[in-house]
Structure 1
């Protein structure tokens, strides 16, 4: 039986250096347990609050 293990806001394509996260295409990275663990990207934009409070997929400031 297909079960969702986790669902996190995630970008569709990693950002370019200096790119603002508001310019990115966002969706959900969904982790399913179907015998073998499986991930799927769902192109449904999370809310701005969900994006700001995400646990993973962080943009780290560049060292200049």
Structure 2
């Protein structure tokens, strides 16, 4: 049986330097358990709050 293990806001492509993250194409990265674990990108935009409060899919500033 297919079950959702996790569902996180995720961008379709990483932002360009200085690009506003809220203007990116967003969706959900869904992790399913069905035999071997499987990931799927669902093109359904999360709310702006869900995007701002996400735990993953972040770019950390490069050390200078």
TM-score, normalising length: structure 1: 0.89
Q: Does 1:3 align with 2:13?
A: no
Inter-partner Cα distance in structure 2 for 1:61 and 1:20: 15
Tell me what 2:52 maps to.
Answer: 52
Distance (whole Å) between structure 1 residues aligned to residue 63 and residue 20 of structure 2? 16
Q: How many residues align?
A: 64
Confirm whether residue 16 of structure 1 aligns to residue 16 of structure 2: yes
Any conservation in 2 of the 1:11–1:57 contact (CA below 8 Å)? yes
Runs of 4+ in 1 over 2 A off after TM superposition: 59-64
- Between Structure 1 and Structure 2, the one with more strand by share is 1
Q: CA RMSD in A?
A: 1.5
Match of 1:36, SS state, is: coil
Deviations 1:1-57 (A, max 9, x none): 100000000000111122110220000000000110000000000001111110101
